[in-house]
Amino acid sequence: MLLSNPEFVQNPYPIYSKLKKNRPLCFDEQTKSWLVLSVDIAKQIISNEEDFTCISAERLAKLGKGNSFFENFLKNWFLYQDKDKHRFFRRTVGAYFTPKKLVEIKGFIKEISESVLVELPPEEFNFITKYASRIAVEVLCKMLGVAKPDKSKITNLVNIMASFIYFPKEAKDIRKFSFGAEALHQYITEVIKEQNYTDNGVISYLIELQKKGAFTREEVIYNILLFFVAGAETPRSGITNCFVELQNDLKSQEAFLSNKEMQNNYVDEILRIEAPISYISRTNKKQEVINGITIPKGSHIVIMVNAVNHDTSLYSNPERIDFNRSKGKFYTFGDGIHSCLGYHLAKLEIEVALDTILSKYPNWKIDADRKWIPRFGLRTFEKLIVKQVD
């Protein structure tokens, strides 16, 4: 019961090191999955897209059996589609996520962060709901081009949908996820019907392509939902984890604020130390022998991102944050053809959100009793009560 063990979820690192030394590839009875803890095995799997597929629709469908909404969801997500369809969709929307394109919205991310900042309560508040989450949802709506987003409704629904990220997932997680996703599906359907979207966002672009026959209407809507699943909780968690680390180390915070060109590296290093998404799933199409162990065809393989990012063959003293270390590979955003499409956007959001709040208010009192979310999969805090101090 490793992955559901509350002690493990609060501090997985001692167990990661022990397992990595003795069993870097081990079978987890509870989830019937192979856990990967070392970087060399993770690399072998993620870089071999022919033999290790990301498509886990069949396994997930079993959990949501009889739930037609969820089945449709799995069928339409480009991430679970065959190679050519995946590549086509990724290339199409990828144009919105390049660093060049993002320069255009940097100013907007700043504006959003500043407007959220002025609304922060003067007394104690939950940093996640009052700051990080609001920025993540508003930036996403801007990218998609939702013209007049109902922000509190969307935030509420994406919070509900976060149960999709947990592992192991239970049938009740799928029910909860579907409840939120179905409501968001309805909302996005209305946005499209009423043309409540702007011309320069992802939605209008996809609708144009749909009119030309490249996608069906359902593919457009379900993949917009994918952006809400993949692109809201994750930057929210990234902003939160980075905020805590920079509060724990005020010297580094000072350096972060005074050296804008280095902000990118700071954020990378913190996201290496505490990756918000703790695992990446793959399924092997044929029997494999890895590290001398035979893995039967069709096995579920789980790459433990936070174990791999702390591998000593990648980094010396991997448990220590070192903003000056030379930048190496890390798996927080995955790798290969499924690597995070929103990587540059997420990094930019996190940098701007932190720079905005810490430039104005550098000193905070943070709840010492904060707890990590008690489920494996999404690694951030359940809540983060903070108060600004002079």
Binding site for ligand HEM (CB under 6 A): 54, 79, 90, 140, 226-227, 230-231, 234-235, 238, 275-277, 280, 332-334, 338-342, 345-346
Residue 316 CB contacts under 8 Å (≥ 6 apart), including other chains: none
Q: How far is the CB of 121 from ligand HEM (least distance, A)?
A: 26
Q: How far is the CB of 333 from ligand HEM (least distance, A)?
A: 5
Q: How far is the CB of 249 from ligand HEM (least distance, A)?
A: 20
Residue 336 CB contacts under 8 Å (≥ 6 apart), including other chains: 46, 47, 49
Number of residues in the chain:
390
Give the phi and the psi of residue 64 in degrees, each rounded to 5. -105, 30
Burial class (CB in 10 A: 0-12, 13-18, 19+), 386: buried
* Residues facing 197 on adjacent strands: 146
DSSP class of 147: S
For residue 340 the two structure tokens come to 């995070």
Q: How many CA atoms lie within 13 A of 273 on its CB side?
A: 19
Our CB check for ligand HEM shows the closer of 90 and 101 to be: 90
Q: How far is the CB of 340 from ligand HEM (least distance, A)?
A: 3
Q: Could you tell me whether strands 385-388 and 364-366 are parallel, antiparallel, or unpaired per DSSP bridges? A: antiparallel
> CA-CA distance, 273 to 322, in Å (whole number)?
10
Q: How far is the CB of 181 from ligand HEM (least distance, A)?
A: 15
Our CB check for ligand HEM shows the closer of 94 and 121 to be: 94
Our CB check for ligand HEM shows the closer of 3 and 226 to be: 226
Q: How far is the CB of 43 from ligand HEM (least distance, A)?
A: 13
Q: How far is the CB of 325 from ligand HEM (least distance, A)?
A: 19
> CA-CA distance, 58 to 283, in Å (whole number)?
10
Torsion over CA of 91, 92, 94 and 96, rounded to 10 degrees? 160
Cβ count within 10 A of residue 312: 14
What is the number of the residue whose Cβ is closest to ligand HEM? 342
Our CB check for ligand HEM shows the closer of 18 and 139 to be: 139
Our CB check for ligand HEM shows the closer of 23 and 329 to be: 329
